Amino acid sequence: MAGRALVLGGGGVGGIGWLAGMVYGLSEAGVELGDADVVFGTSAGSAVAAQLLALRTPQELPRELYERQLADPEGEIPARLGTGVMARFVWAALTSRTPEAYGRKVGRMALAARTPTEAARRAAIESRLVSPQWPDGPLRIAAVDTATGTLRVFDKDSGVPLADAVAASCAVPGVWPTWPIEGRRWTDGGVYSPANAHLASGYERVVVLAPIASGGGPLASPAAQGGRLAEQGARVAVVTPSEAAKDAIGRNALDPSVRAAAARAGREQAKDHAGEVAQVWGD
């Protein structure tokens, strides 16, 4: 086993803010997560990962990433997960034995949902990116095939534009349009698991920042996935939002207005985890 992996999980616009605050707060404490040998991004985490690796300047990017969250969220589209959509998620989880089976059921629901246009969604995704180009750094973005429920990881060698990979990974079912890539339709990478930390199998040191702490049904929680990585011999730190951060994110993580408060809460929370993360991350 060798190398360091950073895993950034899903969690809406509020999750983007919290992740940006955590990354910046840890940077202030001397822990530069942008130095990772690989960064796995799921949903909100894909947008943050793309920004973090955009210029490969670890001492400057975390602050820029954080300050972007404090600005007016121009370009973002307010949204909410309705009770009907949530009920379908619960039903799919209770009636599925595997993430793939769950993904197929949620995928069908996502395909049938009325959502904003792809053009509007693309504009929102592009507003989050520092550059439209894949970074030279080792970025991996997770999304789920609506037809099969399988997880795919896109990278710069996949032949897919960065904005398309992020849009697919961030395609919250029932809220945003499923995304067309290579003749297939894709939905949120968090449909497979909230963080997809299992993708970091084989890495010696793994830091998981996960805005959504819980799993459910066939979907493994970040803590459970981190535990399995530790059983394989990795040194692992899993960080999820504190109570204060949860309050800052609020009940609707898809509301762009919570982004700044979530970022500030993440930056503050980082102080409590800097030692733990530094011990795992090493020099």
The residues carrying an active-site annotation are: 43, 188
Q: Where are the alpha helices (DSSP H) in the chain?
A: 12-28, 44-52, 61-70, 83-94, 99-112, 118-128, 162-169, 222-231, 243-249, 259-281
**Distance (Å, rounded) from C-alpha 172 to C-alpha 276?**
32
What are the b/e assignments for 80-116, b being 16+ CB within 10 Å? ebeeebeebbeebbeebeebbbbbbbbbbbbeebebe
Give CA 220 to chain center in angstroms: 15
**Distance (Å, rounded) from C-alpha 135 to C-alpha 206?**
21
**Distance (Å, rounded) from C-alpha 113 to C-alpha 111?**
6
**Distance (Å, rounded) from C-alpha 137 to C-alpha 112?**
36
Q: Which of 47, 62, 63, 9 is closest to 206 using CA atoms?
A: 9
**Distance (Å, rounded) from C-alpha 50 to C-alpha 139?**
7
Under a CB-based contact definition with an 8 Å cutoff, are residues 13 and 254 in contact?
Answer: yes
Longest dimension (CA), the chain: 49
Q: Which of 111, 198, 98, 110 is closest to 150 using CA atoms?
A: 98
CB-based contacts of 260: which residues, under 8 Å, 6+ apart?
Answer: 17, 69, 70
